[in-house]
Structures are given as C-alpha cells and as structure tokens.
Structure 1
Amino acid sequence: MTVNKRLKTLGWYLVLGGLGYLFLFPLLFMIVSSFKPESAIFTDLYSLRAILPVGELTLDNYRGVFDKSRIGHYFLNSLLITGGTVVMGLFVNSLLAFSLSRLEWRGQKLILSAVIALMIIPLEAVVVPMLLLVSKLPSLGWEEGRLVLEGSWMNTRHVQMLPFVANAFFIFLFYQFFRDIPKDFDEAAKLDGASPFQIYRHIIVPMSGPVFATVAILHFMVMWNQYLWPIMAVQSEAARPVMPGIQIFFGRETEWGEILAYASFITLPVLVVFMIFQKRFVRSLAGAGIKG
C-alpha cells in the first residue's frame, strides 16, 4: 500500500470516527450522567468527563425513578402496545404489499397511488379527526356471560394500537422488496395448485427476512416513541405507556438526573431490538443499495 493510500485510509477512519463520536455522544452522555448526582452532571458537562463513568457514581437517580413513577407498569403497557402493533403490522402491511406487487386486480394502481400519497401526510395533520373518531367508537365488554358495547376507545391499550397497525411507508417498503422477487416462483407454485395466500406464506415470507426485520425495527421505534397520541387519547395511568410518563419529572424543580435515568431505562428495549435484528437490517440496506 502506497503512502497516499495509507493517508487516505487514515483520513477516512478519522472522519468516520468523528461521525461515530458525534452520533454516540448524546447516548453516552445520557447513560453515564444517569449514574451521577445532578451537581456532577453540570460540572462535567463541558469536559470529556461528561461521557466517562468517573467521579461519584450512584443509583439514587434510578431509585427516584421507581419511587416517583409507576415505570414498571408503563413499561409493560409499552411492551404490549408496541409488540402487538408490530406483530399485526407485519402481517397486515406485508399482505397488502403482496397483493399490490404479486396479484392483478381492478383498482390496483389507484390503491398503490393512495398508499404513496399517504406517506407524505404527517400524524399531526390527522390526529384531531382520529381523536374525534375513536372517542365515538364503543369498546367491547363482558357482562353476564355476553359481549356488550360500552364506553369508548379512550383510555385503552387498543386505542394506541389499532390506528397504527397499517402504515403507508411500511407497505411501500414491502412492496418494493416483493416486486423484485422473480414471479417465476409464483407461476411454479400455481402449477402445483397453490393459492395466493399459500404463495405468500410459503414462498414470499421465507425469502423476505431482511425487509421483515427492517420493518419490525422501524415500526418498533415508531410505536415505542409515541408521545403525542398517548397524551391525547389516554389520561389514566392504567393504559399509559412509558413516553408520556416522563412528564412526572418536569415540575417546579426539575430533577435532571432522574430524567436521564428514566430516559436511559426506556431506551434499553430499542437497543436490544436493534441488536437482535441488526444483521438482517444491514443486509436489507445493503441489498437496497445494490438494487438502486
């Protein structure tokens, strides 16, 4: 390797290292500072000590989080809401994408155009009509051995799940991936008498691991980080997820150490999910780059 190539490689490592530090700094600062007293957090803020576990370390911030909030209950709610939405979303979004990319039916192009158009509409633009709609929808209850309609969807877990199962962006991701799978597989399966759903289940799904992992990670992050919708649709603690729960620590005297401890605790599941699916996620991105 020549000197110029070595310098060029070194330069790239320095650039990438700098970018890595830039992206990791907030995360490292949050986690390390969650173990420090509040006075030490601000004292170390303008030095390298801000991201190093040095000085007086304590678990008092985490004790304060568990004493002042029902974080365990919020955490369980978020796991149920997020997990349920992701599982249902993988099925619903992939099935619609399969129909759009592998089957032929009247109005197919119109529906695809509508899906693409919905991608540019932010949640904030439709959140008030959604709130009015779900406030009028009755919930199912059980009374004297029979199902009855009672109350409304407000202050429930399913009001935080069902409106977000179908997602235009995830449908389009599945559509793009499914479209690039050769249709020869479909034709061969049809000759053997396979139905469209059997083709989806036994051929398309096994060949689409990377895109399923990608959508699972992205959908998990979207649902786990939900804040606006829960504070509008849920007022009781019974169905409250973790994100709105952080409001407890913002008061007349803000405890920044406890806020950072709370934020560190609720960030852990996102990191775990990414670590589990990272290989398929990276493979999906690499495959998309090659196709592009």
Structure 2
Amino acid sequence: MKDPFTSRSRQKTIRKIMLYAINCIMGLLFLLPLLWMVASAFKPEQRIFQDISSWKAFIPIDFTLNNFKQALSRVPMFKYIWNSILYIVMTLMLSLTINSLCGYALAKFKFRGKTFVLSLIISLMVFPFDSIVIPLFIVINKMHLLNTRFALILPFTAKCFSIFLFRQFFLDIPNELLEAAEIDGTGRLLTFFKIVLPISGPVFATVFILDFVNHWSDFMWPLIVLIDDRYRTVQLGIQAFFTDPPVFYGPVMAALTLAVLPMVVLFLFFQKYYVQGISTTGLKG
C-alpha cells in the first residue's frame, strides 16, 4: 500500500519543479531581446541581421568595440546619461519626501475630508499621463520654465500611485509604536523621520525603482519641453541616431546598451527591497 504522505510530497515536488521551469522559461523569453541587443552592440554591422535567424544572434561573433566608438563620437551619450541621472535624482528627492508624507497622513491621521482625498487620489490614478500633457505644457509655459530642468522636475514631485503605495505600507505600522513616541514628547513630523522612516526601506526602494525606470524611459515629455542640447536626456540622445539617414544599427545597439546599464545595475542592487516592498503594500498577486 502506497504511503499517501509520500505521494503528496512527491506531487508537491513535481509542482515546484514545473513552476520553477515555467518561471525560468518565461524569464528567458523576457531576457532574449536584451541579450540580442547586448550581443549586437559588440558585432560588426553586417553580422547583426546576418545571424538573426540562428543561435549566433546571441553571441558577439567577431567581437568589436567599434560600435561604441561610433556611438560616442556621434552623440555625447555620457553627457545625456548624466543629465538624466541628475534630473531623476532631484525629482526623486522631492517626490519621495512629498509622497511619503502624504501617504503617512492618509494612513495615520484623522482629518475632515480624508475619505474624499483618498478617493480622489485613487480615481486620478486611472487617467494616463498622455491625457494631461497639453494642460501641463500650458502651465509650464505660463511659468516660463520651458527648456529648463525645472520643467522635468516639478510636474512629477507628486504622484498618486506613489502616495497610494506609501499609504498601504504605513497602514501596517502599529499605532501603539507611534503613540508611544508621541507620549515621549516627539512631534508627529519628528515621529515620521525618527520612527517611521528607518523601518520603511522596502517601500521607499520600491517607489524609487518604479519612478526611476519611469523617468529614465520617458521620451515624450522631455521632447516637448526641452530645446537646448545641454539639457537633453538619454532617450533624446538615442532618438538622434534616427534623425539623419542612413541608420547604422551597430551604434544604435551600443547606445541602447549604455542606456540600459544604469537600470540593470539599479535593479540588481535594490531587487531584495523591491520584492519586500511589493509584498507589504497590498499589491501582491
């Protein structure tokens, strides 16, 4: 007679193996375009599409750095990368401060109209950014901020989704901990910075990564508000490769590789906190 516990254990093991296998296959499918891009960046121009129908597409055969030399000589990529990093860091410093304080107030304070404010924030998450581009451009123009870094920073200092993430995380912080701090004479604002902030690393890392990726890949808004080459972002720099024909895809792949590298490094360093933040903000599947 078969042991039912052994049979169940075997079934669980098989399910886990199948789940891991499916996850690995899905992960590989998502990585293939990235691997092809990186491999193509180190290939001569003629081999990029010559090898595309075989496994050689993912191996840098005839390794060369000439694509990177051409990319950097045609467009000041490092300057554009620095511009993007600078404006994103400034945006996130303001955004994390403002949105975390708003989320904290909605999670822990009692005030008139709190339900309405929360409902308004959640409802505004439905509207895509494209629907407010024209009104936002008019406001920035009236403020005489076009072609400045402030045009890239100010519109994104407050975000409904970030506020919602912070609120969901702060709801799980025990009220007794905050009340104990207030009894000791710590004000509400000081309680946030001394008690709440040190234990909120996961949600801050989550919002940081999501906003960084969103701003890093943004093309439309910088294209609209920036004219001077001094303030161009990395996405506008990549677009410059397609303005003057003929288009050589070797340098394009090299530029894309340089543009993707900061995001990959960022995620590798913060992935642990990112997973923790998602699992503790009520967004897990």
The TM-score normalised by the length of structure 1 is 0.90
Aligned residues: 277
CA distance in 2, matches of 1:189, 1:71: 49
Q: Is the 8 A contact 1:71 1:245 kept in 2?
A: yes
Q: Is the 8 A contact 1:62 1:262 kept in 2?
A: yes
Q: Is the 8 A contact 2:77 2:237 kept in 1?
A: yes
Report the counterpart of residue 43 of structure 2 in structure 1: 36
CA distance in 2, matches of 1:274, 1:132: 35
CA distance in 1, matches of 2:210, 2:91: 12
Secondary structure in 2 aligned to 1:215?
helix
**Are 1:196 and 2:203 counterparts?**
no
Secondary structure in 2 aligned to 1:161?
helix
The TM-score normalised by the length of structure 2 is 0.92
CA distance in 2, matches of 1:104, 1:96: 13
CA distance in 1, matches of 2:149, 2:237: 15
Cα displacement string for residues 10-37 of structure 1 (whole angstroms, at most 9, x for unaligned residues): 4334322211210110111111111111
Q: Is the 8 A contact 2:168 2:281 kept in 1?
A: no
Report the counterpart of residue 135 of structure 1 in structure 2: 141
Residues 230 and 287 from structure 1, CA distance in 2 versus in 1: closer, same or farther, beyond 3 angstroms? same
Residues 103 and 12 from structure 1, CA distance in 2 versus in 1: closer, same or farther, beyond 3 angstroms? closer
CA distance in 1, matches of 2:179, 2:19: 48
- Which stretches in structure 2 are left out of the alignment for 5+ residues? 1-5
CA distance in 1, matches of 2:19, 2:236: 41
Q: Which amino acid is 2:43 matched to?
A: K
RMSD: 1.8
Q: Residue 255 of structure 2 is aligned with which of 241, 262, 274? A: 262
Q: CA deviation at 1:197?
A: 0.2
CA distance in 1, matches of 2:15, 2:284: 28
Percent identity over the alignment? 38
Cα displacement string for residues 47-90 of structure 1 (whole angstroms, at most 9, x for unaligned residues): 1111123x211111111111111212211110110111111111
Q: Is the 8 A contact 1:116 1:172 kept in 2?
A: yes
Structure holding more helix per residue: 2
Q: Residue 238 of structure 1 is aligned with which of 209, 216, 230? A: 230
- Which stretches in structure 1 are left out of the alignment for 5+ residues? 138-151
Residues 180 and 47 from structure 1, CA distance in 2 versus in 1: closer, same or farther, beyond 3 angstroms? same
Residues 102 and 10 from structure 1, CA distance in 2 versus in 1: closer, same or farther, beyond 3 angstroms? closer
